[in-house]
Amino acid sequence: MKAHVKQTKRYTRSTGGNLFFFLLVTAMGLFTILPLIYCITTSFKPLEELMLFPPRLFTVRRPTLANYSALPSLLSSLSVPISRYVFNSVFVAAVTTLLHILVASMAAYVLAKTDLKGRRIIFWVVQFALLYNATTLAVPQYMVFTQTRMIDTYLVYILPYLPSTMGVFLMKQYMDDSVPAALLEAARIDGAGHFTIYLRIVMPLVKPAWLTLTLFAFRDMWSVQPTGTIFSEEMKT
C-alpha cells in the first residue's frame, strides 16, 4: 500500500520581491514620519527663520532652544490648562491600554484554550458585537454613569473601553493559530495552573498580537473625548 502524504505548498518570495517589498515599506515609513521630522526641526528654528520664503522644511541654519525655554511661561499664561490636558491624556491612555490588553487577553485565553461550556456561543456574540458602533451605547452609558456618580471622573474614560470585542477577537484568533494544545497539556501535567499557563506560556507566544493591540489601543485612547460625561476643564484630555 502506498502512503499518501499530503504536501503543503510553501510560497516563498523571490529576492527581487523581497527587495521591492523592503523598499516599499521603507518609502511608506519615511513618508509617514516626515511630518514628525518637520515639527521637530521647526521647533529649533528662530522666528525669523520660520518666515523665510521659499521655506526650508528640514534644515535649520541657527538652531536655538529659545522656543523650549519660553514654553513654561507661555503655558502658564494661557487660560486653557494644556499641561493638565496632556497629563490626562497620558494617564488615561496608559491605564486604559494596560487594562485593555489584560482583559482582552484573559478573555481570549478562556475562549481559545479552556473547556468552558458555551464558549463558541460566547465567541459568536463577540463577533456579532463587532457590528455595533460605540456611539449607540452613549445613552445607556450616560444613564449608568449618572446613577453611579461617575460623571467628571477618569472612570468614564476607562470603563467603556475595557471590554474590547476587536481585542478579544484578535487575541483569540492568534492563540488558536500560535499556541499548540500539546504544549498546554504538558504544562498542566507538570502542575501548572491556568494563570501560570496564561502568563508564562501563552502571553510570550502571542507577543506580536498584544503588541499590535497595544499600539491600536493607545492610539484610540489618546484622542478619545467622552461626550456628555466630562464637563470640568481639569478632566478633559
CATH code where residue 93 lies: 1.10.3720.10
For residue 99, give every residue at least 6 positions away whose Cβ sits within 8 Å of its Cβ, in sequence order, or none. 158, 162
77 domain-assigned: no
94 domain-assigned: yes
pLDDT band at residue 30 under the 50/70/90 scheme: confident
Indicate if 144 and 214 belong to the same structural domain. yes
Domain interval for residue 162: 82-235
Indicate if 60 and 90 belong to the same structural domain. no
Query: What is the pTM (predicted TM-score) of this model?
Result: 0.72
7 domain-assigned: no
Instruction: Provide the grid cell at 145.
Output: 454613569
Has residue 9 got a pLDDT over 60? no
Average pLDDT rounded to a whole number, residues 111-131 = 85
Q: What is the pLDDT of residues 61-114, one digit of tens each?
A: 888 888 888 888 887 777 777 888 888 889 999 999 999 999 999 999 998 888
Average pLDDT over the chain reads 83
The Cα 109–Cα 167 span in angstroms is 12
Indicate if 30 and 146 belong to the same structural domain. no
Average pLDDT rounded to a whole number, residues 27-41 = 88
Indicate if 108 and 48 belong to the same structural domain. no
For position 11, what pLDDT does the model report?
Answer: 53
Has residue 14 got a pLDDT over 80? no
CB 60 within 8 A of CB 45: yes
Length of the chain: 237
The Cα 118–Cα 110 span in angstroms is 11
59 domain-assigned: yes
DSSP string, the chain: ----PPPPP-----HHHHHHHHHHHHHHHHHHHHHHHHHHHHHTS-HHHHT-SS--SS--SS--SHHHHTHHHHHHH-SS-HHHHHHHHHHHHHHHHHHHHHHHHHHHHHHHHS--TTHHHHHHHHHHHTTS-GGGGHHHHHHHHHHTT-TTSTHHHHGGGSS-HHHHHHHHHHHHHHS-HHHHHHHHHTT--HHHHIIIIIHHHTHHHHHHHHHHHHHHHHT---SSS---GGG--
Indicate if 159 and 188 belong to the same structural domain. yes
Total domains, the chain? 2
5 domain-assigned: no
Indicate if 37 and 148 belong to the same structural domain. no
Indicate if 108 and 57 belong to the same structural domain. no
CB 113 within 8 A of CB 185: no
Q: What is the pLDDT of residues 183-231, one digit of tens each?
A: 888 988 888 888 899 989 999 999 999 999 999 889 888 887 766 677 7
